[in-house]
C-alpha cells in the first residue's frame, strides 16, 4: 500500500512539473513572434473545439465518419455525432454564420447529452496543455482576454495581410485602462501569458444552472460591482471597481455550458442573444464587452416544444442550432453502455453472465424503435439490421430507407439508467455472486409497475418486448449450450461444412462425388444439404440461389489466395451450428434434465460446465443455471 501511495504522489508531482514546464510569459512583441510562426495559436473558440475533436482521429466506416474523440464514452450515436461535428463545429470553425448560434443538444433523459458536454470540457482542458491547443491571454486579465485585441481597429486590415489572422472584438474596459496606466500606452510591452483551461479554476470553461428566477442575479453571468472599492476608485464606472467574475467572463476563449437553458429568465436570455450574434455582452456601466466562446445548452424535447411555442422566444429561437441526440438504437452498442456503467459502479465485482446485458439491451432498443412501414420487416428484423446483422432479403439500402421512415426515432423509450437500476435491484435481491439474463429480464418486468412516467399503453407494449427479449435469449442460450456440448466443436463444424461444400460444388457443377471408402461415384447428397439449409429457413425454391452464392464466395476466396473457412460465411456458419445442435438435442435433453444423472451423464455435464467457464465466460453458478434452463427449454 505504501508503494502505491508513493507512486501516486510521484505522479502528481510529475504532472505538476509537466504543467509548470508549459508555462510561458513574455511581452506582446514576443507573442507576435509566436503567432507569426504558429498562426493556429490565435484560433477562435469554435475553431479550437473543432481542431481538438479532429486531433483525436477520424475513421471512415460504411461511408460515415467516426470521431475517436467520443469513441470511449459515447456508443451508438455515430450519425448524431457526425452531424454535430460536420454541421455545427466545422462551419463554425470556418467563421461561417453558424458560429453565431447557441448550440442546443436536444434528446431524451440519459441519452448522452451531458456526457458530450463533459467530454468537450475535459477535452479542452487537456487540449490547452498541448502545443497545437496552446492558448495565450493578457496577463492579469480576469477574462483571459485575447492579446490581439491590443491591435487598434485601424491597423487590423494590415495585420490580416501580414499575418493572415482576422481579429474580432474590442479591448475590454479594464485592459484599456491598464494599457494606459501600467504600460504608458506601449502595446509592445504588455505582458502575455499562456493559460490552461480549467473548469475548477474557472479558466476558459463556465457552467451556469438557473435557480429561482426571483433570487437569481444577472451578476452570476456578467459579474458585479465591488462596492468595497468605490471609495478607492471613486466611481461605479471605473473598471477596477468591477468584478469580472461572471460565468460569461470566465468562459471567454473557451466554452460555456448552460444547464436547463430554456428555464432561464428572459433577462438572462437576452444577454445570450447579444453574445452569440455580436460577440459581446453588456456588463455594468461599460461599453459592450467582447467575448469569444462556444455556448452549448441541453434540454429534452418536451421543454423545447414548450419554449418555441412561446411567441416571446422567437428572436432567441432563430439564434439556436438544435442538434437531436437520440437514444442509441444498436443492441451491441447498448451492451457497451451497460458494461461501462457497471464498471464505474460498486457492482463491478459481481459476475454478470454472458448475454445478460444483451437481453436487457434487446428490450431497451425495442422500446425505442418505431414500427417499420416497409413490407416484410418486423421490429426484430429492424433491430437486427440496425445492429449490422444480415437479414435475408435485405441490405444496407433498406437500412437507410428504414432510418428515413421516422425522423424522430430514438427520442422515446427506456433509458439506460433505468436498466442499470433494475440490474442493481436484481443483484441485491438475489444475494449471489452472479446474475443471469433471466434475473435481469425479471427485474425489468417488475420495475415497469414502479415506473411513474410509463403509460398503461406503453407498459403493455414493454411487457411484450420483454417477452421478445426472452425469446431471443432462449435462442442464444441454446446456442451456447450447443457449442459447449459438442466435443471438439470446431473440428465437428469444419468437417460438416467441408462435406456440405463438396456436395454444393458437385451440385452446381453437375458433377458426381466419389465415396472416400469404396471409391464409387455417387450423386450429391441432397438430404444432407437440405438438412443444413433448412436450419436457417432456406426454402426448396431458394436452395439453388443459396448454393450458387456459396460457390461464388468460395471462388472469390480462391482467386484472392484465401482459404474459405468456417467463419467465412455468417449464415452458413449459423446453419452448421444449428444442424449440429439438432443432431445433439436428444443427448442434451437427457443429460441436462436428469435429476439423478448416471456417471457418464455427470461426466458430460462437468465437461460442459468446464467448457462454459473456460471458453464462454461463465462462472460455475451461471453455467449450471444455463444448463438447467436449456434443459427445461428442450423438454417443453
In sequence order, what DSSP letters do the residues of 480-491 get, joined into one string?
A: HHHHHHSTTHHH
- At 76-114, the pLDDT tens digits run 999 999 999 999 999 999 999 899 899 999 999 888 999
Other Cβ atoms closer than 10 A to 294: 25
Which of the four pLDDT bands, split at 50, 70 and 90, describes residue 321? very high
Q: What is the pLDDT of residue 215?
A: 63
User: For residue 17, what pLDDT band results from cuts at 50, 70 and 90?
Assistant: confident
Q: What is the mean pLDDT of residues 33-48?
A: 94
Judged against a pLDDT cut of 80, whether residue 63 lies above it is answered with: no
Q: Is the pLDDT of residue 601 over 90?
A: no
- Predicted confidence at residue 543, as pLDDT, reads 92
Residue identified by cell 475517436 is 68
Query: What is the pLDDT confidence band of residue 493, given thresholds at 50, 70 and 90?
Result: confident
Work out the average pLDDT over 237-255. 89
Give dist(CA 586, CA 234) in Å, integer. Answer: 96
- Contacts of 484 by beta carbon, 8 Å cutoff, 6+ apart: 608, 611, 612, 615, 616
**How much is the average pLDDT of 499-506?**
91
3-class DSSP state of 100:
helix
User: pLDDT tens digits for 130-162?
Assistant: 999 999 999 999 999 999 999 999 999 999 999
The answer to whether 522 and 528 have CB atoms below 8 angstroms apart is no
Instruction: Answer yes or no: are the C-beta atoms of 92 and 98 closer than 8 Å.
Output: yes
Q: State the CB neighbour count (10 A cutoff) for residue 548.
A: 13
**Higher-pLDDT residue of 235, 413:** 413
- Alpha-carbon torsion, ordered 599, 602, 608, 610, to 10 deg: -100
CB 423 within 8 A of CB 440: yes
Kindly tell me if the per-residue pLDDT of 464 is higher than 50: yes
Query: Distance (Å, rounded) from C-alpha 426 to C-alpha 111?
Result: 23
The DSSP code for 389 is: -
- Model confidence band, residue 492 (pLDDT cutoffs 50, 70, 90): confident
| Residue whose C-alpha cell reads 426515432 in the numeric block | 409
Provide the residue ranges of all domains of the chain, joining segments of one domain with +. Answer: 24-324, 331-472, 493-576
Cα R_g (the chain), whole angstroms: 32
Give me the pLDDT at residue 343, please: 86
pLDDT of residue 212: 65
Whether the predicted pLDDT of 624 surpasses 50: yes
Please tell me what DSSP assigns to residue 107.
Answer: -
CA distance 114 to 106: 10
Categorize the per-residue pLDDT at 480 as very low, low, confident or very high, splitting at 50, 70 and 90: confident
The pLDDT, as a whole number, for residue 11 is: 83
Residue 1 has pLDDT above 50, yes or no: no
* CB-based burial label for 17 (10 Å; 0-12, 13-18, 19+): exposed
Considering the chain, what percentage of its residues have pLDDT values greater than 90? 50
Q: Is the pLDDT at 124 greater than 90, yes or no?
A: yes
Asked if 333 and 141 touch (Cβ cutoff 8 Å), the reply is: no
pLDDT at 4 over 60: no
By CB atoms closer than 10 A (0-12, 13-18, 19+), residue 20 is exposed
Average pLDDT over residues 322-345: 92
Cα end-to-end span (Å), the chain: 55
Could you identify the residue written with the cell 462462472? 619
Tell me the per-residue pLDDT of 545-572, one tens digit each, with 9 for 90 and over.
Answer: 999 999 999 888 888 888 888 778 888 8
**Which three-class secondary structure state does DSSP give residue 194?**
strand
Of all helices (H) and strands (E), which one includes residue 521? Answer: strand 521-522
Grid cell listed for 47: 475553431
User: What percent of the chain has pLDDT above 70?
Assistant: 95
281, 288 Cβ separation under 8 angstroms: yes
- Determine whether 296 is exposed, middle or buried from the number of CB atoms within 10 Å of its CB (0-12, 13-18, 19+): buried
Among 44-48, 92-96, 374-378, where is mean pLDDT lowest? Answer: 374-378
**Contact indicator for 401, 374 with CB cutoff of 8 Å:** yes
260 in Cβ contact with 105 (< 8 Å): no
Distance of CA 346 to the CA centre of its chain: 22
Residue written as grid cell 440461389:
545
Mean pLDDT of the residues in the chain: 87
Q: Which fold does the domain 24-324 belong to in CATH?
A: Rossmann fold (3.40.50)
Q: How confident is the model over 62-86, as a mean pLDDT?
A: 90
Q: According to the per-residue pLDDT averaged within each range, which of 249-263, 326-340, 517-531 is highest? A: 326-340
pLDDT band at 3 (very low <50, low <70, confident <90, very high): low
Task: State the average pLDDT over residues 445-474.
Answer: 89
User: Can you give the pLDDT at residue 346?
Assistant: 76
**214: confidence class by pLDDT, cuts 50, 70, 90:** low
538 exposed, middle or buried (CB, 10 Å; 0-12, 13-18, 19+)?
Answer: buried
Q: Which of 128-132, 246-250, 343-347, 394-398 has the lowest mean pLDDT?
A: 343-347
Furthest C-alpha separation in the chain: 114
- pLDDT score of 381 more than 90: yes
Q: Grid coordinates 475533436 are at which residue?
A: 53
pLDDT at 279: 86
State pTM to two decimals: 0.83
Task: Give alpha helix (H) positions in 209-300.
Answer: 219-222, 230-233, 247-250, 266-278
- Model confidence band, residue 187 (pLDDT cutoffs 50, 70, 90): very high
Taking 90 as the threshold, does the pLDDT of residue 239 lie above it? no
Amino acid at each position: 500500500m505504501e508503494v502505491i501511495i508513493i507512486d501516486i504522489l510521484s505522479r502528481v508531482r510529475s504532472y505538476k512539473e509537466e504543467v509548470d514546464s508549459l508555462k510561458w510569459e513574455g511581452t506582446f512583441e514576443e507573442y507576435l513572434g509566436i503567432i507569426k510562426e504558429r498562426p493556429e495559436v490565435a484560433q477562435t473558440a469554435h475553431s479550437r473545439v473543432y481542431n481538438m475533436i479532429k486531433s483525436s482521429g477520424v475513421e471512415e466506416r460504411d461511408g460515415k465518419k467516426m470521431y475517436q474523440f467520443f469513441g470511449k464514452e459515447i456508443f451508438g450515436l455515430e450519425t448524431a455525432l457526425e452531424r454535430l461535428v460536420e454541421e455545427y463545429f466545422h462551419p463554425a470553425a470556418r467563421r461561417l454564420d453558424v458560429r453565431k448560434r447557441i448550440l442546443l443538444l436536444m434528446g431524451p433523459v440519459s441519452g448522452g447529452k451531458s456526457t458530450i458536454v463533459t467530454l468537450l470540457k475535459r477535452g479542452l482542458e487537456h487540449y490547452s496543455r498541448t502545443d497545437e491547443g496552446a492558448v495565450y491571454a493578457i496577463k492579469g486579465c480576469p477574462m483571459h482576454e485575447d492579446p490581439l485585441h491590443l491591435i487598434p481597429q485601424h491597423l487590423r486590415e494590415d495585420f490580416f495581410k501580414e499575418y493572415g489572422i482576422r481579429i474580432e472584438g474590442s479591448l475590454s474596459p479594464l485592459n484599456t485602462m491598464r494599457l494606459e496606466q501600467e504600460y504608458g500606452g506601449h502595446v509592445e510591452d504588455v505582458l502575455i501569458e499562456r493559460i490552461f483551461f480549467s473548469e475548477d479554476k474557472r479558466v476558459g470553461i463556465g457552467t451556469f444552472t438557473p435557480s429561482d428566477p426571483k433570487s437569481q442575479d444577472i451578476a452570476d453571468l456578467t459579474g458585479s460591482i465591488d462596492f468595497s472599492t468605490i471609495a478607492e476608485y471613486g466611481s461605479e464606472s471605473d473598471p477596477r471597481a468591477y468584478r469580472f467574475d461572471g460565468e460569461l467572463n470566465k468562459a471567454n476563449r473557451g466554452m460555456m455550458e448552460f444547464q436547463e437553458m430554456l428555464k432561464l429568465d428572459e433577462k438572462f436570455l437576452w444577454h445570450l442573444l447579444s453574445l452569440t450574434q455580436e460577440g459581446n455582452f453588456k456588463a455594468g456601466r461599460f461599453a459592450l464587452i467582447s467575448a469569444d466562446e462556444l455556448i452549448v445548452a441541453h434540454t429534452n424535447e418536451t421543454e423545447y416544444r414548450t419554449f418555441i411555442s412561446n411567441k416571446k422566444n422567437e428572436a432567441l429561437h432563430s439564434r439556436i442550432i438544435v442538434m437531436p441526440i437520440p437514444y442509441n438504437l444498436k443492441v451491441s452498442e447498448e451492451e457497451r453502455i451497460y458494461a461501462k456503467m457497471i464498471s464505474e459502479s460498486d457492482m463491478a465485482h459481481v459476475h454478470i453472465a454472458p448475454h445478460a446485458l444483451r437481453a436487457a439491451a434487446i428490450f431497451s432498443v425495442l422500446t425505442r424503435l418505431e414500427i417499420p412501414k416497409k413490407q416484410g420487416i418486423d421490429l426484430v428484423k429492424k433491430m437486427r439490421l440496425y445492429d449490422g446483422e444480415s437479414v435475408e432479403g435485405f441490405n444496407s439500402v433498406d437500412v437507410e430507407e428504414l432510418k428515413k421512415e421516422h425522423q424522430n426515432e430514438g427520442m422515446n423509450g427506456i433509458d439506460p439508467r433505468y436498466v442499470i437500476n433494475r440490474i442493481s435491484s436484481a443483484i441485491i435481491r438475489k444475494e449471489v455472486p452472479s446474475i443471469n439474463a433471466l434475473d435481469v429480464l425479471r427485474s425489468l418486468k417488475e420495475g415497469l409497475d414502479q415506473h411513474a412516467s410509463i403509460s398503461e399503453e406503453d407498459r403493455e407494449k414493454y411487457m411484450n418486448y420483454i417477452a421478445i427479449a426472452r425469446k431471443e435469449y432462449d435462442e442464444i442460450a441454446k446456442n451456447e449450450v450447443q457449442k459447449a456440448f459438442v466435443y471438439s466443436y470446431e473440428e465437428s463444424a469444419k468437417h460438416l461444412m467441408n462435406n456440405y461444400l463438396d456436395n454444393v460444388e458437385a451440385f452446381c457443377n453437375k458433377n458426381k462425388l466419389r465415396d472416400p471408402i469404396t471409391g464409387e461415384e455417387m450423386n450429391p447428397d441432397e438430404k444432407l444439404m437440405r438438412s443444413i439449409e433448412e436450419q436457417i429457413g432456406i426454402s426448396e425454391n431458394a436452395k439453388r440461389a443459396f448454393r450458387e452464392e456459396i460457390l461464388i464466395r468460395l471462388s472469390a476466396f480462391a482467386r484472392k489466395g484465401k482459404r474459405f473457412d468456417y467463419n467465412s460465411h455468417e449464415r452458413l456458419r449459423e446453419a452448421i451450428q444449428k444442424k449440429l445442435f439438432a443432431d445433439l438435442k436428444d443427448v442434451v435433453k437427457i443429460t441436462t434434465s436428469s435429476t439423478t444423472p448416471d456417471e457418464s451423464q455427470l461426466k458430460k455435464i462437468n465437461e460442459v460446465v468446464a467448457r462454459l467457464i473456460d471458453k464462454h465466460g461463465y462462472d460455475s453458478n451461471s453455467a449450471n443455471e444455463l444448463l438447467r434452463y436449456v434443459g427445461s427449454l428442450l423438454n417443453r
